[in-house]
Structure 1
């Protein structure tokens, strides 16, 4: 694959795109042949990150949720 996409000719761009799509198709076919339980296993590296676990407090500070009560108070 090329480092600078701006210098690619149209034929080179098509070849790059074809290579990317071919890799995606190969991955899809490999994945279809896996046992269902292996699809559900969490990669140990991903498990350490814990993106699906909510944090105690947002890095953006407190966030007020506009419920019906809050909305009425703001209008009064």
Structure 2
């Protein structure tokens, strides 16, 4: 039951919104943002603009998307 609810939630959030809900990705984004002295919101905006154009494909929220930012 829990898994079905989670799937429904992910569908509602949609493909591009999912990175925000990914805890590990969120933590590493925060750490990187703090090191660079920029806001997490800025980083997330970059990732959203970069990740869905990623030519290698892969889901948004994969580490490659974070590295590319």
Q: Same fold (TM over 0.5)?
A: no
Superposition TM-score, scaled by structure 2 size: 0.26
Higher helix share: 2
Q: Which has the higher contact order (CA 8 A, sep 6+)?
A: 2
Superposition TM-score, scaled by structure 1 size: 0.24
